[in-house]
């Protein structure tokens, strides 16, 4: 199963709230969800950080589309459908700054299962995008992420669910992708996430990140997951 992540930002002149509302209530329902090959589909809307000043520094992205497709054949077929060509693609410039969009096709691995995939996940999710440090191979990066980093993350207080999504091998055959992984950490609410990030265990997680991640390309978003198709899928 391909787990595609699409990071998007509002077009100029649109507020983050307007962008998110259009994405969830209009684009996702009227256009993207009509593409028959999409098995599951969620839109993750960004939750502002306490004290942030978006007028001085706007976030890189204001939301994430999560799309699940069965395989490469169905993914290619989806891009040739009228629902995509005459619907979703034509609608994108109405609400998204498409030149800032980042797309990753990933293979997702479950570290802490939490509630079943067929159930709505509780609370909020922290999504962390990471790029391996210079001189490290993709294989070394993945091994460290799985064997050394994941056990540290699983000890964070209040963590309910944890997945690691690795950029698919096919991307490296074409060019160097912008990111090598996205980590998904679920908590009951934003307060629980903030509390976890103030603990000594978070300090250990951060210290380990510096050993295998290029910090210039480390980005995080706190989001709320909005299901469009799913979570059971079709």
CATH of the domain at 75: 3.30.70.100
Residues 41, 144, single domain; the answer is no
Other beta carbons within 10 angstroms of residue 139's beta carbon come to 9
Q: What is the pLDDT of residue 122?
A: 76
User: pTM score > 0.75 for this model?
Assistant: yes
Residues 79 and 163 in one domain: no
Q: Which residues are 213's β-sheet partners?
A: 132
Q: How many CB atoms lie within 10 A of CB 60?
A: 13
Does one domain contain both 124 and 95?
no
User: 149 and 93 in one domain?
Assistant: no
Split into its structural domains, the chain has a count of 2
Please list, in sequence order, all residues whose beta carbon lies within 8 angstroms of the beta carbon of residue 32, skipping any fewer than 6 positions away: 38, 41, 65, 67, 87, 88, 228
Q: Are residues 96 and 135 in the same domain?
A: no
* Same domain (yes/no): 87, 168: no
Last residue of a domain, one of 46, 76, 100: 100
130 and 187 within one domain: yes
> pLDDT tens-digit profile of 52-110?
766 677 899 999 999 999 999 999 999 999 999 999 999 999 999 999 999 999 999 99
Residue 233 lies in a domain: no
Q: Is 158 in the same domain as 137?
A: yes
Q: Express as a percent the part of the chain with pLDDT over 90.
A: 90
Let me know if residue 232 belongs to a domain.
no
Determine the structural domain holding residue 61 and report its residue range. 1-100
């Amino acid at each position: 199963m391909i787990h595609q992540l699409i990071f998007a930002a509002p077009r100029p002149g649109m507020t983050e709230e307007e962008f998110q509302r259009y994405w969830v209530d209009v684009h996702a329902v009227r256009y993207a969800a009509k593409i028959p090959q999409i098995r599951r589909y969620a839109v993750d809307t960004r939750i502002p950080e306490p004290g942030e000043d978006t007028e001085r520094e706007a976030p890189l992205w204001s939301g994430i589309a999560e799309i699940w497709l069965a395989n490469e054949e169905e993914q290619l077929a989806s891009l040739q459908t009228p629902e995509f060509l005459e619907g979703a693609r034509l609608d994108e410039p109405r609400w998204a700054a498409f030149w800032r969009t980042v797309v990753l096709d990933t293979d997702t691995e479950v570290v802490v299962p939490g509630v079943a995939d067929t159930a709505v996940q509780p609370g909020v999710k922290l999504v962390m995008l990471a790029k391996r440090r210079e001189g490290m191979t993709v294989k070394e990066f993945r091994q460290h992420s799985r064997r050394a980093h994941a056990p540290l993350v699983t000890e964070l207080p209040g963590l309910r669910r944890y997945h690691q999504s690795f950029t698919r091998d096919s991307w490296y055959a074409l060019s160097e992708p912008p990111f090598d992984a996205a980590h998904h950490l679920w908590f009951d609410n934003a307060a629980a996430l903030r509390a976890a990030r103030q603990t000594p265990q978070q300090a250990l997680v951060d210290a380990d990140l510096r050993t295998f991640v290029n910090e210039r390309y480390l980005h995080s978003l706190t989001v709320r997951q909005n299901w469009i198709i799913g979570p059971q899928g079709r």
